[in-house]
Amino acid sequence: MNPVLENLLQCPQCERDLEIHDHPAELACVACGLVYPLQQGIPLFTPSPAGLVPSEKIARSPDSGTPWRKANWQFVQKQLTKIEPHGLILDVGAGRGDFAEALRNRRSIALDIYPYPEVDIVSDLTHINPFRRASFEAVLLLNVLEHVFDTNALLANLSRVLKPGGTLLVAIPFMVKMHQVPVDYVRYTEFALMRLGEAHGLSIDELEGYYDPIFFLGEGLGNLHHAVLPSLGRGQRQVARLMLTGIQALAGQLARLVGPGQTLPVSESKTNPAPTGYQVVYRKRE
C-alpha cells in the first residue's frame, strides 16, 4: 500500500482509525470492525461497477491525443506550478494514468473505481469517502465529471477533503460526442459549473473554454460518413460520398488557414459560446 495513505485514511462509517492486517490482507476499523480488502496493496473501499469494461493503457503526453486533450495538458501543467511543491494532490478518476507524467515529481494519490495497476486506492466517492477532512492541497478531476451520475455527492466529498484555500481542477467536455458508453451522463454549461461550485463552498478562480470550430466540423462530417451514408440508397450514397470527400478536403484546407483551437476565458468568447469543453479552477473558501 502506498505509505502516504496510512495517515490519510479513516473508516468511512465511523471516521475512526484503520489498521493494516496481513492475513488476510485488509484494512480494519479499530472501532466498528468493518474491513476493506487489499488487492496487491490497493485498498478496495467499493466494488467495481458491474459490467465495467476496463480501459486499455494508452500512452499519454502533452503532444499526443486530441486537441482537447492537449489543451488539458497545458491547463494542468500551468496550474500545478501554482500549487505548493510538497502539497498533496488527489487525482480522481486517474484510470490508466493519463496525467501521471505531469504528476511524476509531485506528492499524489491516484484514485479510481477500478483497481488498475496505476492507482493507489479504489473508491466511488459518490458513495464512500475514506479520507480524513482537509487532507489535500489540490484535487484533479480531469475528463471525469461527465461520467458521474451524482455530481453533488462527489463535489461534497471533494470539498470535504480539500484544505481551506485548496484547489479543485476540473476539465469537462461540452460539445463532444458520447464516450465510454453507457457511463457518459452529463454536459454542463458554464452557468451550471458556477452554481455547482457555489453549492459546495467552492469559488471559481478561473473558468475557460477550449474553442475549436474545425473540430466540430470534423465531428459532423464523421457522423455523416458513419451514421447517415449507410442508410442511403446506392446511387445517393455514391453521390453523397463524393460530395463528402470534397467537403473534407476543403475542411482540411480551412484548418490550415485558421489554425488550432484556442483556450479563452469564457468572458472573452461571446462570439463562439460552444466550447469543446471547459476547464475550471475552483478554490475552497477559507
- In sequence order, what are the beta bridge partners of 279? 171, 208
Do 152 and 123 form a contact (C-beta atoms < 8 A)?
no
DSSP string, 59-128: ---TTSS-HHHHHHHHHHHHHHTTS-TT-EEEEET-TTTTTTGGGTTSEEEEEESS--TT-SEE--TTT-
Half-sphere exposure of 185 (CA within 13 A, CB side): 9
pTM of the predicted protein model = 0.92
SS3 191: helix
Residue 143: burial class (beta carbons within 10 Å; 0-12, 13-18, 19+)? buried
Q: Report the C-alpha gap between 32 and 35 in whole angstroms.
A: 9
**One-letter amino acid identity for 160?**
R
Please report, in tens digits, the pLDDT of each residue of the chain (286 residues total): 999 999 999 999 999 999 999 999 999 999 999 999 999 999 999 998 887 888 899 888 898 888 999 999 999 999 999 999 999 999 999 999 999 999 999 999 999 999 999 999 999 999 999 999 999 999 999 999 999 999 999 999 999 999 999 999 999 999 988 888 888 999 999 999 999 999 999 999 999 999 998 888 888 899 899 999 999 999 999 999 999 999 999 999 999 999 889 999 988 766 667 899 999 999 999 8
- Listed by start position, the domains of the chain span 3-43, 67-210+261-284, 213-258
Residue owning grid cell 477550449: 210
Roughly how many angstroms between the first and final C-alpha of the chain, as a whole number?
Answer: 32
CATH superfamily placement of domain 67-210+261-284: Vaccinia Virus protein VP39 (3.40.50.150)
Q: Report the C-alpha gap between 286 and 284 in whole angstroms.
A: 6
